[in-house]
Structure 1
Amino acid sequence: MAIVEWLQLPQEVLLHIFLYLSPSEKANVRATCTYLRALVDHPSLWRNSTIFFRSIGLFNAKFWDTLQIRKIRSVEVTKVTLKQFRKITLSLPDLTTVRMDSCLKGEILQGLRPLVNLKQLYLTDCSHVSDHDIFSEVINFHQLTHFSLCKVYFLNVLPLTSIVLLQNLYSLSLHPKDGTVPERALQYILFRLPKLKELSLAVGNMNKWKLSLCFNRPDNFLSAAEEKPCIPRLQLQKLELLNSGCVSLSTNAFDQLSTLTSVCLRHYKYLQHEDFIEALFLKLPNLTELKTEWLESSSTFSMM
């Protein structure tokens, strides 16, 4: 097909073709002419793209204009100052997903404030920021559906319980640096998040009773956060346990987890306890997938 004929294809056809191109191939097409540059910058081609920022000092106004035209929704940030991060969030107001790594400090979180559409927030290294600083900013994003905290220290119960203000949470990951999540606080949270379907926990040395307590409906527990009603039953579908030494759960805990369809056990120390593996299948009637990972091996068991 001649180039002129190819360019005469309807725009929706060209856009569909461009969906199959890699970023470098899109860049080559974009460099050919003004018409194709405008097509390649169409937001539909960048809907599932993530921009990685390690330093933004060399980016000019044209770069930011291009990202705005494409309506970039997802970024990953590893090395920026507060001023630079504010540049990102102010230039990309449509962001719905932010992943932050080693750059994270208390003041950096303030740069999130312009993102009124933020739905997914992944804080993968909280070593240099307090739990109080994290939650004082995050609880303002009531629209969050996915929230992940890794390498965090929970110094106090009250900041953690403020998660209940995020009533739209669908997925929650809590991976503390010392492997300890306060079980009473976690219990309080789980039974006050009605939309929560996916949970990932680093549970460290929690014994059977402490871990089971997390999945038992709480009695009275006071929090500085605005009080939310306690749901009668959990509705979790996916559960991931990291670094767990627990070899079982109580009957009440299994009952509350009966809606699970997928369980992942990572770095599990006591996989030789076949009774627990058997109990998962016997006491979780909706379970269709069990994944185990330890050392450098992994296994997946599926039930159809």
Structure 2
Amino acid sequence: MEGPLHLPPELWVLAFSYLSTEEKHTVRSCSRHLKKLADHPALWRDYTVVLSELRRYTYGFWHTLCHRKLTRVAVRHLRRKEWRRLVKFLPSLTAIVFMDGGRQYKEKYLDNLSRFPHLRELGVRNATWDEALLGRGLTQQLGERLTHLSVCNVRLPSTVEFIVTVSELVNLRSLLFHQQGEGYGLDTVRPVPRSDFHRLLVSLKKLRHLSWGMKGEPPEPLPDDYFSPEDPNQPGPSSYGGPALSSLELVDYPETLLPENALRSLTSLRSLSVRYRYIRDGVDCRLKTWLSPLQQLESLTIIGGNSLATYTTLIPPSVTRLTLRVAITLKDMDSIAPKVPGLEHLDIEQNRSSGSLCRRIPMLFPHLRTLRIR
């Protein structure tokens, strides 16, 4: 054992990089030397540690996290003293996700976030706020720092007020907002009004990824220009003042919510994901017109929705990654193949035709590198 231990540390780190998390912990228990090597920061880059009840953690535990230079945590409900403890032991955090809050929270609950000088990413999951999620003071302190914000399944007192607040986070590059509901009533969700959504898009010039929950359904479809805010400096019928989005995800989308030309201004999109909530008979498939202007699209994901035959011939030839969670036949594959000659990654649902599909896929997509059949 003496010989291998004298290998250069970088070789050990390279070898350990192929181990699972459990295997790394097994190795570090063998000796002090291996423990030090297994805790090398390069092995834990981009890892997220889940914390709860911070009082039960020892100084040794915090020392290990610091030695690994972990900068991403997910926390469950923390008391005020526990927030201060987190600031004390992990002051260099860059990403914090607050999840599974078991009570109703006030505006000041997240105030300690301002004490993390390197915080860039914030996520909130499964919680209820009876006051503003982000207070004005906290928004001003984080306004130029936050680049990623994710709010999912959170009940807010006012969605519009939240959207107005988010509009002030001018350096956001990624925004995920899947709302649960407002106030204390039923889980009724109304789409964000056009004017407020336009204000958001016009303000967030650096935004590149948008994941938008569209659970609510108004009596009438949203306006044609819902995703096409006018440029206030150059008004006109074809002006666009929103960000140059490269990725758009629509979640819980009902087919009737957006019009046929809703994505006409998002020509910069390289990735589009649509997760349908349901479809209705007699409603034309919007994808037929949505895909036409997206000539730079590289990744397309469709979960549910209409029959593939309604839009397969309109998939842009630039697509190299295709995910389809819909019923698919060999005939559909024959239709798709000539439209995406450079396809490299394919992910489809398993069905009765899977055997025939597998035999045909290598011939239909000669450049395919990965195939996943669920």
TM over 0.5: yes
Counterpart residue number, 1:298: 325
- Selected match of 2:293 from 283, 288, 300: 283
Q: Name the SS for the 1:195 alignment partner.
A: coil
> Within 1, Cα distance between the matches of 2:68 and 2:240?
41
User: Contact (CA 8 Å) 2:269, 2:294: kept in 1 or not?
Assistant: yes
Residue 205, structure 1, aligned to residue 217, structure 2: yes
Q: Name the SS for the 2:253 alignment partner.
A: coil
- Selected match of 2:167 from 150, 164, 167: 164
Deviates more, 1:260-269 or 1:242-251: 242-251
Shift of 1:76: 0.8
Change over 3 Å in CA distance of 1:258–1:231 after alignment to 2: closer
One-letter amino acid matched to 1:255: R
Counterpart residue number, 2:271: 262
Counterpart residue number, 1:227: none
Shift of 1:288: 3.3
Counterpart residue number, 1:153: 156
Deviates more, 1:188-197 or 1:17-26: 17-26
> Within 2, Cα distance between the matches of 1:290 and 1:118?
31
One-letter amino acid matched to 2:206: K
Q: Name the SS for the 1:121 alignment partner.
A: strand
Shift of 1:218: 6.2
Counterpart residue number, 2:88: 90
Change over 3 Å in CA distance of 1:219–1:35 after alignment to 2: same
User: Contact (CA 8 Å) 2:210, 2:248: kept in 1 or not?
Assistant: yes
Q: CA-to-partner distance for each residue in 1:233-274, whole Å, 9 max, x for gaps?
A: 5311111112233544364x4332111122222233227645
One-letter amino acid matched to 1:198: H
Residue 110, structure 1, aligned to residue 123, structure 2: no
One-letter amino acid matched to 2:244: Q
One-letter amino acid matched to 1:149: V
Counterparts in 2 of 1:174-185, with a 5 A limit?
174-178=177-181, 179-180=189-190, 181-185=192-196
Counterpart residue number, 1:127: 128
Counterpart residue number, 1:62: 60
Deviates more, 1:45-54 or 1:5-14: 45-54
- Using structure 2 for the length normalisation, give the TM-score: 0.69
Q: Name the SS for the 1:68 alignment partner.
A: helix
Change over 3 Å in CA distance of 1:82–1:99 after alignment to 2: same
Deviates more, 1:267-276 or 1:21-30: 267-276
User: Contact (CA 8 Å) 1:85, 1:108: kept in 2 or not?
Assistant: no
> Within 2, Cα distance between the matches of 1:200 and 1:67?
31
> Within 2, Cα distance between the matches of 1:129 and 1:39?
47
One-letter amino acid matched to 1:63: F
User: Contact (CA 8 Å) 1:93, 1:115: kept in 2 or not?
Assistant: yes
Q: Name the SS for the 2:65 alignment partner.
A: helix
Counterpart residue number, 1:225: none
One-letter amino acid matched to 1:277: L
- Selected match of 2:247 from 207, 228, 238: 238
Shift of 1:211: 6.9
User: Contact (CA 8 Å) 2:45, 2:70: kept in 1 or not?
Assistant: yes
Q: CA-to-partner distance for each residue in 1:194-235, whole Å, 9 max, x for gaps?
A: 111111112221543347324322659xxxxxxxxx973531
Unaligned 5+ segments in structure 2 are 182-188, 234-238, 306-323, 329-335, 344-374
More RCO (CA 8 Å, sep 6+): 1
- Using structure 1 for the length normalisation, give the TM-score: 0.84
> Within 1, Cα distance between the matches of 2:213 and 2:302?
14
User: Contact (CA 8 Å) 2:247, 2:269: kept in 1 or not?
Assistant: yes
> Within 2, Cα distance between the matches of 1:267 and 1:281?
16
Shift of 1:13: 0.6
Q: Name the SS for the 1:165 alignment partner.
A: coil
Change over 3 Å in CA distance of 1:258–1:249 after alignment to 2: farther
> Within 2, Cα distance between the matches of 1:255 and 1:231?
10
Counterpart residue number, 1:187: 198
Q: Which has the larger radius of gyration?
A: 2
Change over 3 Å in CA distance of 1:46–1:132 after alignment to 2: closer
Change over 3 Å in CA distance of 1:136–1:182 after alignment to 2: farther
Unaligned 5+ segments in structure 1 are 221-229
Q: Name the SS for the 1:259 alignment partner.
A: coil
